[in-house]
Structures are given as C-alpha cells and as structure tokens.
Amino acid sequence: MHTCRNCNQSFRTELALELHRDTCKKGQLFCQECGDRFREGDATQDGWHYECPNEDCDGEGLQDDLYHVDDVRTATH
Ligand SMILES: [Zn+2]
Ligand SMILES: [Zn+2]
C-alpha cells in the first residue's frame, strides 16, 4: 500500500500515488532539490525558516529551494 504523506490517502500502486501527488491539494510546497512535495507545516517550525523535511535533502529557504506549487504553475505558464 502506498500512502500519500500529505493527506494520508492510500493507493494500490506507486503510479497511482505519483499521479495523485500532482494534484494533491495538501502538498503545497515543492522542493526543487529532491523534487518532493509536502505540506507547508512540515517544512517550517516557525513560519519563517523553511527547509525540506527529507532528512537526506538539504534544500531550504522559501523561494530559494522550496516553492509553493501554485507559484511554480503560474511561473511556467
Ligand atoms: Zn495526497
Ligand atoms: Zn528536498
């Protein structure tokens, strides 16, 4: 079972999870270092300093390595 860590929805296949993650409304932040998505609250403790919640990734900083998914969408169009 593959579970979306953002909204806890479960999927039978990894592909289904991948497809979901593109549209998951709870995956608001995007790390360009590792390409992962996560909730804003997972990336910051104080709402000021942001860093990637993945331990093996050193991406950090809003608008630096981390972006809001909505910003990325508007920027590429
Ligand atoms: Zn989800
Ligand atoms: Zn990352």
Tens digit of each residue's pLDDT (9 = 90 or more) over 39-77: 888 999 998 899 999 999 999 999 999 998 877 667 665
Domain tally, the chain: 1
In contact, 43 and 51? CB cutoff 8 Å? yes
- Which pTM was predicted? 0.68
Q: How far is the CA of 55 from the centre of ligand 2 (A)?
A: 8
- Taking residues 23-51, what's their average pLDDT? 90
Ligand nearest to the CA of 20: 1
Q: How far is the CA of 65 from the centre of ligand 2 (A)?
A: 8
* Environment of ion ligand 1 (residues, CB < 5 A): 4, 6-7, 24
- Taking residues 14-38, what's their average pLDDT? 89
How many C-beta neighbours within 10 Å does residue 27 have? 21
Strands (DSSP E) along 14-53, which ranges? 29-31, 37-38
| pLDDT recorded at residue 24 | 84
| pLDDT recorded at residue 77 | 58
- Taking residues 7-23, what's their average pLDDT? 91
* Segments forming the whole domain that contains residue 6: 2-75
Q: How far is the CA of 53 from the centre of ligand 2 (A)?
A: 7
